[in-house]
């Protein structure tokens, strides 16, 4: 935080708090009075520098609260598209009392790091509904991976999608037809119809819809987790996610 930039805000706050009691009009001050007042403020801050950090913390808290409120309004405005789009894969407990929607990218290191955390949360809780939204934003390999995963779901069903989804999150290297065929073969899937479906309008439309929704939700990074009452922008360990789920239930 630039303390020079913060100083006018601190002075304004002092003036505003004093105004009702003293009927103080800063605009009516003479140049000499203004200089004297500035000297008093400076002297106070030099004697009590902790006030600056308290002000910074208070400002950060207000900004965080405002951002959280804005996220709640966004989730409310696009609720149906987030939680009931009719195409995204649903895992965990489909009848769970709390739903977590994950916007993810297969080449995102934090998405990969979140895999065991999410799995641990789902296993330990047992009453969470998980929705995965394909959100490829990290280049061509991400796009190919998402197209392959979505095509798998359309062609081979939800169980096959889950297998492919998990496999892609640990797959490194070039996303070629050879690599994808090898992945499909290893899972006992017929690669040809999946590969043929990858560039279909149906797959393209789903990715475009997810990107459009993410833009409206002001999501520009992965992983992002959306719950009924908030958005979690970034990786969180399982214990912190469990605490947030508990808050959702309360």
pLDDT in tens, 179-202: 999 999 999 999 999 999 999 999
Q: Whole-angstrom Cα distance, residue 12 to residue 38?
A: 11
pLDDT of residue 24: 62
The set of residues, in sequence order, having a beta carbon less than 8 Å from that of 234 and lying 6+ positions away, is 110, 221, 223, 224
Q: 80-249: CATH homologous superfamily?
A: Glutaredoxin (3.40.30.10)
Q: Whole-angstrom Cα distance, residue 84 to residue 80?
A: 5
Alpha helix ranges (H) inside 128-200: 140-156, 158-168, 177-186, 191-197
pLDDT of residue 6: 47
All structural domains of the chain with their residue ranges: 3-79, 80-249
Residue for token pair 């290191």: 109
Q: Across the chain, what does the average pLDDT equal?
A: 89
Q: State the pTM of this model.
A: 0.77
Report pLDDT digits (tens) over 26-62: 778 888 888 888 888 888 888 888 878 887 888 888 8
């Amino acid at each position: 935080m630039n303390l020079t930039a913060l100083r006018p805000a601190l002075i304004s706050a002092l003036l505003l708090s004093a105004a009702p009691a003293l009927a103080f009009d800063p605009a009516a001050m003479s140049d000499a009075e203004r200089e004297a007042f500035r000297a008093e403020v400076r002297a106070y801050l030099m004697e009590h520098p902790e006030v600056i950090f308290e002000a910074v913390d208070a400002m950060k808290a207000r900004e965080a609260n405002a951002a959280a409120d804005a996220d709640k309004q966004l989730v409310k405005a696009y609720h149906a598209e987030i939680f009931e789009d009719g195409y995204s894969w649903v895992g965990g407990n489909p009848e769970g009392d709390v739903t977590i929607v994950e916007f993810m990218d297969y080449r995102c290191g934090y998405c990969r790091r979140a895999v065991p955390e999410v799995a641990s949360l789902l296993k330990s809780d047992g009453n969470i509904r998980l929705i995965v939204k394909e959100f490829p934003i990290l280049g061509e390999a991400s796009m190919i991976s998402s197209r392959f995963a979505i095509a798998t779901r359309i062609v081979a069903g939800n169980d096959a999608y889950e297998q492919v989804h998990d496999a892609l999150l640990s797959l490194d290297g070039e996303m070629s037809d050879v690599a994808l065929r090898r992945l499909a073969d290893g899972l006992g899937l017929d690669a040809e119809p999946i590969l043929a479906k990858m560039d279909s309008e149906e797959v393209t439309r789903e990715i475009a819809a997810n990107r459009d929704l993410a833009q409206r939700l002001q999501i520009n990074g992965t992983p992002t987790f959306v719950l009924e009452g908030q958005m979690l922008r970034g990786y969180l360990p399982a214990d912190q996610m469990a605490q947030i789920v508990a808050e959702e239930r309360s």
